[in-house]
Structure 1
Amino acid sequence: MTTPRIALATCTALPDLDADDAPLIGALAARGVEAVPVIWNAPGTDWTAFDLVVIRSTWDYTEHPGDFVAWVRSLPQLLNPAEVIAWNVDKRYQRDLDEAGVPTVPTIWLDPERNFDSRAIHTRFPAFGDFVIKPTISAGSRDTGRYQADVTPSRSLAITHAKNILQSGRHVMIQRYLTQVDTVGETGMVYIDGEFSHAVRKAPLLEGPYRANEDLYRVETMSSREASPAEREAADRAIAALPGLFPGVDGPLLYARVDLLPDDAGNPVVLELELTEPSMFLALAPGALDRFADAIARRVGA
């Protein structure tokens, strides 16, 4: 019997995978599956040599999203499916979630083709409180900044930040900063093979304006957390909406992470739905590594 062989796709900065994903290699070997870390855009890679490609730490894709989407569409066997990945790399997917009735963080969208001047951008900002600016294609809070609506210098920095994103041809998201995140934090709800696996808490990351020359991703302070019934309901609604968005995709997705924030009333809303290359934080939940390895092994018939 031939040993199934899979590629765990990563990036140049993490050729041996992120530390959280590295134990997958041994866990899959114990299940009769050979897993190999492979840099997604390494020249000359023969992807047909693998029975399956599983996207993991491809965290530099935001620097060349067009190449990344072309790559996922070229692969014969990919998880999550290419159709899902192509939709999920641009956060404008949140509009589809809104239409499906999933509670999301209210967002104002700026299109680079509209040629917004400074005044037009200024009028899109909230009149009070803090707000966040980020491009629709980003990961790990890169190119993201937090600003104060009633402080003129901060508002001026926000205009510059938005203009720079628009001038690079990218769409801009403007979201009011939900202050309860400072005390409650952000909740990541991890799903494996369509089933809820575990929840994690992410401490607040955004402390001020965007700063250039940031690292590949911002270091996150993570801990295990018990999900509330309201968080389970909100995350389950996001997962349940997916079959309607991808009618050609059969069965549950291999992995998903639903990131939630509490709104002003304390109700959880979806900040992001991570289906491309989310950290799973497997080490923070007993049994999570085995659940993920089992799910991958089932996909290759091991």
Structure 2
Amino acid sequence: MNRRSISSAARGDAPRVAFITCADLPDLDPDDRLVIEPLARRGITVVPAVWDDPAVDWDAFDLAVLRSPWDYSGRRDEFVAWADTVPRLANPATVVRRNTDKRYLAGLAEAGVSVVPTRWLAPDESPARDASPAPVAGLGAEGEYVVKPAISAGSYETGRYDLSDPGQRELAERHVERLHAAGQTVMVQPYLGAVDRHGETALMFFGGRFSHAIRKGPMLDGPYRGMEGLYRPELIDPRRPSDGELAVATRVLEAASAVLGAGPDGLLYARVDLIPDPDGTPVLIELELTEPSLFLTHEPGAAGRFAEAIAARLAGANG
């Protein structure tokens, strides 16, 4: 319970929900605008709110839902400190703090979740130049690997390198050095070639219930060359997940509640991104609990299901 939500219910005011965005998307991402009408039919008003706008009164909302604050990655400390100040934030600030640093994947792996094998290079662990190729993540140095920072969004500073090619190995080393110079921990993962055929499967959950899934086509075609905009364009298609993918995603969310501290109210939304390993078994590449695209345009009824989960969260706060 909270004073704001109780008083608005008692007065008969329409509940007000902030959809949190960034200054580049002040009117929200088109996908999120799809939720405004189904919430309005439930008597709930959506207000776009830029996360770092000092004029926003976060106490004025019955619920604040993180949606598209996609400029936070370069200011992550500021972002998580801000999240700590927002009442009735979904997903909660504890989850935001842990989920915006991809080292949470190590915690999920320790909890028994099948995660893409990852080697973590802290800023004092740059790969030695002129050394013989060292094993990466216990898989050897032959083949292709992905290099990316532990804190990023929208595939920023993410590249694919063939470490058996001297030129690409040099580029990968420079990539790591650049990220380390910025104080970033670096992730090195094997490039799982099944993504070229199968793509990634992203499964969306609202209020703990599976809603829909999509297929994301392969995005990484070589070394990182910079980005324009907040995220890379993606090739998206609807997808019916396999029973195995659903089972792995469910296991991921069960582990996440303990590892990431979802709190008593649980997660309002979650996106579980899976990819087949060399044996065809789905493994986790990322668990998106802060500001994921939910791909509502790709599934009839998905926007309504998200609105229903938001309404249920509000009803629980007022109950």
Bucket of the pairwise TM-score, normalised by the shorter protein: over 0.9
For 1:113-124, what aligned pairs fall within 5 Å after superposition?
113-114=124-125, 117-118=128-129, 123=134
Cα contact 1:121–1:159 (8 A) shared by 2 = no
- Structure-2 change in CA distance of 1:121 and 1:21 (3 Å): farther
The amino acid that maps onto 2:50 is: I
1:79 aligns with 2:93: no
Who is 2:54 aligned against?
A: 43
Encode CA deviations 1:75-130: one digit per residue, 9 max, x unaligned.
11100011011110000000110011000000000011446553579635441111
Q: Runs of at least 4 residues of structure 1 off by over 4 A?
A: 114-117, 119-122
- Structure-2 change in CA distance of 1:37 and 1:124 (3 Å): farther
1:7 aligns with 2:21: no
How many residue pairs were aligned?
A: 302
Who is 1:178 aligned against?
A: 192
1:59 aligns with 2:70: yes
How far apart, in 2, do the equivalents of 1:59 and 1:120 lie?
38
- Equivalent of residue 140 in structure 1, options 154, 159, 164: 154
1:192 aligns with 2:203: no
- Equivalent of residue 259 in structure 1, options 273, 279, 284: 273
1:68 aligns with 2:82: no
How far apart, in 1, do the equivalents of 2:262 and 2:22 lie?
29
How far apart, in 2, do the equivalents of 1:248 and 1:261 lie?
24
1:300 aligns with 2:314: yes
How far apart, in 1, do the equivalents of 2:188 and 2:259 lie?
24
**What SS does the aligned partner of 1:64 have?**
helix
- Structure-2 change in CA distance of 1:163 and 1:214 (3 Å): farther
Stretches of structure 1 that go unaligned for 5 or more consecutive residues are none
- Structure-2 change in CA distance of 1:229 and 1:25 (3 Å): same
1:243 aligns with 2:257: yes
- Structure-2 change in CA distance of 1:300 and 1:210 (3 Å): same
How far apart, in 2, do the equivalents of 1:247 and 1:102 lie?
16
**Pairwise CA distance, 1:256:** 0.2
Who is 2:248 aligned against?
A: 234
**Pairwise CA distance, 1:44:** 2.3
Identity of aligned residues (%): 48
Stretches of structure 2 that go unaligned for 5 or more consecutive residues are 1-11
How far apart, in 2, do the equivalents of 1:120 and 1:272 lie?
31
Cα contact 1:108–1:124 (8 A) shared by 2 = no
**What SS does the aligned partner of 1:242 have?**
helix
How far apart, in 1, do the equivalents of 2:182 and 2:261 lie?
34
How far apart, in 2, do the equivalents of 1:15 and 1:257 lie?
23
The amino acid that maps onto 1:226 is: R
Cα contact 2:272–2:288 (8 A) shared by 1 = yes
TM-score, normalising length from structure 1? 0.96
Of 244-253 and 42-51, deviating more is 244-253
**What SS does the aligned partner of 1:42 have?**
coil
The amino acid that maps onto 2:307 is: A
Encode CA deviations 1:188-207: one digit per residue, 9 max, x unaligned.
01111001111100000000
Of 212-221 and 202-211, deviating more is 212-221
